[in-house]
Amino acid sequence: MGLYDQSIAVLGGRGMLGTDLCQTLRAAGCRVTALDLPEFDITAADQTDRALTGVAAVVNCAAYTNVDGAEAHRELAAAVNERAVGQLGQLAAARGVYVLHISTDFVFDGDLDRPYRETDAPRPISVYGASKLAGEQALQAAGGAYAIVRVQWTYGRAGQNFISKFLSRADTTDDLAMVADQVGAPTWTCDVSAALLELLEQRRKGLYHYAAAGYASRFEVAEAILAERGLRGKRLRPCRTADFPAAARRPLNSRFDCAAIDAVLARPRPHWRAALAQYLAGG
């Protein structure tokens, strides 16, 4: 039985990535059930067990993603990002359901002087990052069939993200500042969804990094946004992360080495600048 003859549950199916993933899966002919708050709570074992009934695969996009909020709400972050993921893994293993779980670049401290590989030791520097790493480990310990995909700097049309927030600021002021010491790759959730579809088709197992091709600082991304939108009257100045104190520390180097996932994907990863242009053009 092929992928398109099976049912797939997407947890967090109305979030930024979940929305695009559900659309991608349905366009490919899959039967998809999108589950999200308030009617679905991933921390409730009975609800998760029901979500797995009759499905061949589950994609977990559900997460507590308030990076600064996690510093003050450690228990909630642990409940959603760690314990619920381990519970999902155990229930899925008992039913023989394949799990595709979404994680993050925040499992690293950002101190490495090269792109991060899957084999590099995680060293989270925030409660959020630690909870996501603990979730990865709980899923791995559950003993079922799974793949974990770490993503970074994601943006999409459902929900707030770096690009939408920057454009909102640009609507209200001509004097803009952006950090120039955080480096990674802004990654469109439509492109992530296409990659996840391929992993589901192949039932790939293990740990993968996925990001758009190429690297840029957040300042360079902001420059590209202004150029694509023709906002030439705006003044953009570079600054440091340290100039904007926050409750949680951010990794300065979020660059991913994506050689492992490149080896299994038929579709090349789009360059971040091309994907950004398409997104801003409404594509």
- Return the pLDDT at 6: 80
Between CA 213 and CA 197 the distance in angstroms is: 18
Say if residues 103 and 62 touch (Cβ distance below 8 Å). no
- Return the pLDDT at 1: 47
pLDDT tens digits along 41-97: 999 999 999 999 999 999 999 999 999 999 999 999 999 999 999 999 999 999 999
The verdict on pTM exceeding 0.75 is yes
Give the pLDDT band of residue 20 (cuts 50, 70, 90): very high
Rounded to 5 degrees, φ, ψ at 125 are -120, 15
Say if residues 91 and 60 touch (Cβ distance below 8 Å). no
Is the pLDDT at 3 greater than 90? The verdict is no
The amino acid occupying position 234 is K
Pairing of strands 183-184, 216-217: antiparallel
Domains of the chain from N-terminus onward: 3-160+186-213+256-270 (3.40.50.720)
Between CA 55 and CA 58 the distance in angstroms is: 7
> Nearest 10 degrees: CA dihedral of 157, 163, 166, 171?
-50
The amino acid occupying position 150 is R
In angstroms, the Cα distances linking 176 to 73, 223, 249, 260 are 31, 10, 22, 37
- Please give the positions annotated as active site: 128
**What does the block give as tokens for 271?**
């360059």
The amino acid occupying position 88 is L
For 17, counting Cβ atoms within 10 Å of its Cβ (0-12 exposed, 13-18 middle, 19+ buried), the class is: buried
- HSE-up (13 A, CA, CB side) for residue 179: 15
Angle at 49 between CA 11 and CA 80, to 5 degrees: 50
Between CA 30 and CA 8 the distance in angstroms is: 7
Give the pLDDT band of residue 2 (cuts 50, 70, 90): low
Cα 28 from chain centre = 21
The residue whose two tokens read 């340290």 is: 242
Per-residue pLDDT, averaged over 132-139, amounts to 98
Say if residues 57 and 97 touch (Cβ distance below 8 Å). yes
The candidate with the shortest Cα–Cα distance to 237, out of 184, 172, 179, 170, is: 179
Between CA 181 and CA 263 the distance in angstroms is: 30
